[in-house]
Amino acid sequence: MSPTHVVLRCKWCLLLLACFLLMSVSGCKRIKKEYIGKRVLRVIVRADVGGMDPIFLDSQYDSATSAQVIEPLLEYDYLKRPLSLRPLLLQKMPDVSNKGLTYTFQLKKGIYFHDDPCFPKGKGRELVAKDVFYSFKRMANRAVRPRGWWVFSKRIVGFDKYRSEQYERVSKKKLPFDIDAPVEGFKLLDRYRFQIKLVKPFPQLLFLLAFQKTGIVPREAVEYYGKQGRGSFSQHPVGTGPYTLKEWRKGLRLVFRRNPKYKHSFYPPAKSANAKDKQEGRHLDAGKPLPMSDILEVNIFQMDQPAWLKFRVGDLDYVQVAAEYWPGVFNVSGPKKGQLRDHIKKEGLRAYPVPLLDFIYHGFNFKDPIVGGYGKRARYLRLAMAHALDLYERNRRFYNSKNVVYQGVIPPGLSGYGGPRPKPDLKKAREYLVKAGYPEGKGLPPLTVSTSSSSNAKEQSELFIRQMARIGVRVRFEFMTFPQLSRKLRSAQTQIFSLAWGSDYPDAENNLALFWGPNSAPGSNSWNYNNPVYNKLYEKARVMMPSPQRAKLYRRMNQILIDDAVVLGSMARTRSYLANKRLKNLKPNETMSTFWKYLRVPKFRSKRR
């Protein structure tokens, strides 16, 4: 038996011992008094939550918590695969006319914002069409540095002009941002109906209207919590969502309570369920009102071990199985390889593999004087590092070889996918390093990689350092929280950065938009990549309907990014969820921020368990 297997088995034995001790204590654990008689869903996010204001969302964890309070116009059908959109705040899917340039929408009547002190007498008012335009126009206020202008950039008639005029008004004339100034492409038809006019056809518009960054918020709340001494709207979100925020302990947990006024969203009809859904009972709640839980407890765990232990004593309803625990949960060899171990099945635990539209990478800041820019020297350095990187070794060591290792930025399953990544080539890597003027790394200062802390971030960083050392490139890592890393990226203060990013919607345009020049920091283009050829191709492809011609453009753009070595990547994960037997309806999908409202658990019946 190899030393690695000995270490894994020892770690697993210690973990089982810790679980046993914890479970022996948990038998007399008291349930919170306010949880008795309530359906309490206990879930997990893997990084701290920075805020819940749609225009400032930085991560999937921000989006997931924001979605419990604030809703966009559309959502994905929880059960259908491939993903399919359905109305959320709308009466029906929008009418599209004028060759794809005009979209006409109608809101459902009788949807109310949460009761909150920001409203007269604390009573939430009805959602109306002008709230939609107010929410969208907030993204145009450059002075507050919103995170998602790329959602609207160059898409809606007159919206970019409005943004420029407002920036001049604020920055030069020192006047307040005028949220009420008109936008040519926004038209109110009546209290519930409105139109949006596009500059060019944009097939992905409806995906973006299911995106949490386009969530609809009330003006009263933004202004009320924007006043000094009241925190901020990001910390006190108000919306139309299934829950209201009741408690937020930074770095620990958030607690939400069912919104008693939530009447406009229902569990999908049985026809949305496939055969496996019916086999596992996910169709049984068809048509029932949402949410299915009274209290939603969101626990924050940045490290794997405490999250796993919390799950094993029954304090979490599901968990993502980290690679180090995989051998204790799944068979790793033999005819049952990949299946749950017998003792896990006997506990009633269930596994749910979820292929992700995933983009795990190291990225270069093109504003950096050493690794960035478009000159040959920096490009050869990046190519040297790209050929030295061995993602297959990383996949084996940290992901049980479950990831897909691919080239470029388009994950498997999307049009334009570039195929498997070539194996490392140290001979070619050293040749590129010589071309860059750094033979064997001589004359090259140590490079800095910025990344967020996680349970095995240090071990993964050591592997990266060792792989780069093979060609003489010295690397150091700086670790920080995810919100800290996000701030650093927005101000373009990194040299190299390491992240995992999930597609916001199932179209490669979303990934390719990350590298469009106008999206540079503080936008989503953290690479600050601004290639005129690439920009022109993206602007052409973004307005095209799905077709072989568009797929060809996607592949060409992907190849440009590979040739420029903009990223060291990539990998796509298959996330393995493990659920306790009390949890019903789980069908996780990380493109969907709203899936917690569909999950059902029984009521807590006693003060002890």
Name, in order, each residue with C-beta under 8 angstroms of 429's C-beta and a sequence gap of 6 or more.
Answer: 383, 384, 385, 386, 387, 388, 470, 471
pLDDT at 411 over 50: yes
pLDDT at 13 over 60: no
pLDDT in tens, 82-123: 889 999 999 999 999 999 999 999 999 999 999 999 999 999
Q: How confident is the prediction for the chain on average, in pLDDT?
A: 92
Instruction: Tell me the three state secondary structure of residue 593.
Output: coil
pLDDT in tens, 361-402: 999 999 999 999 999 999 999 999 999 999 999 999 988 888
pLDDT of residue 152: 95
pLDDT at 9 over 80: no
Q: What is the spatial order of strands in the sheet that 574-579 belongs to?
A: 318-320, 574-579, 350-355
pLDDT of residue 502: 87
**Where residue 454 falls among pLDDT bands split at 50, 70, 90?**
confident
**Where residue 19 falls among pLDDT bands split at 50, 70, 90?**
very low
Mean pLDDT for 187-207 is 96
pLDDT in tens, 485-515: 999 999 999 999 999 988 888 899 999 999 9
Mean pLDDT for 251-270 is 97
What DSSP assignment string belongs to 372-402? Answer: -SSSHHHHHHHHHHHHH--HHHHHHHHHTT-
Mean pLDDT for 567-592 is 93
d(CA 442, CA 431): 13
pLDDT of residue 553: 97
Percent of the chain scored above 90 by pLDDT? Answer: 81
The model's pTM is: 0.78
Select from 73, 87, 208, 232 the least CA-distant residue to 148: 208
pLDDT of residue 590: 84
Mean pLDDT for 14-30 is 47
Mean pLDDT for 520-541 is 95
Percent of the chain scored above 70 by pLDDT? Answer: 95
pLDDT of residue 557: 98
Collect contacts of 535-539 with beta carbons under 8 A, ≥24 apart: 538/512, 538/513, 539/154
**Where residue 607 falls among pLDDT bands split at 50, 70, 90?**
low
* Spans of all domains in the chain: 71-224, 358-572
Beta strand 447-452 with 496-502: parallel, antiparallel or unpaired?
parallel
**Where residue 31 falls among pLDDT bands split at 50, 70, 90?**
confident
pLDDT of residue 286: 97
Identify the bridge partners of residue 447 per DSSP, sorted by sequence position: 475
CB-count burial class (<10 Å; 0-12, 13-18, 19+) for 242: buried
Six-digit token pair at 489? 């990226």
Six-digit token pair at 186? 């926004």
Cis peptide before 237 (omega within 30 of 0): no
CB-count burial class (<10 Å; 0-12, 13-18, 19+) for 288: exposed
d(CA 245, CA 65): 9
Name, in order, each residue with C-beta under 8 angstroms of 431's C-beta and a sequence gap of 6 or more.
Answer: 384
pLDDT at 71 over 90: yes
**Where residue 324 falls among pLDDT bands split at 50, 70, 90?**
confident
Least confident range from 87-96, 129-138, 309-318, 332-341: namely 332-341
CB-count burial class (<10 Å; 0-12, 13-18, 19+) for 271: exposed
Contact 544, 534 (CB under 8 A): no
Identify the bridge partners of residue 355 per DSSP, sorted by sequence position: 574
CATH architecture, domain defined by 71-224: Alpha-Beta Complex (3.90)
pLDDT of residue 4: 38
pLDDT of residue 504: 84
Least confident range from 93-97, 314-318, 571-575: namely 571-575
Sign of CA dihedral 47, 83, 551, 101: negative
Contact 163, 241 (CB under 8 A): no
- Let me know the angle formed at the C-alpha of 341 by 337 and 347, rounded to the nearest 5 degrees: 155
CATH architecture, domain defined by 358-572: Roll (3.10)
Residue 524 main-chain phi, psi, to 5 deg: -80, -10
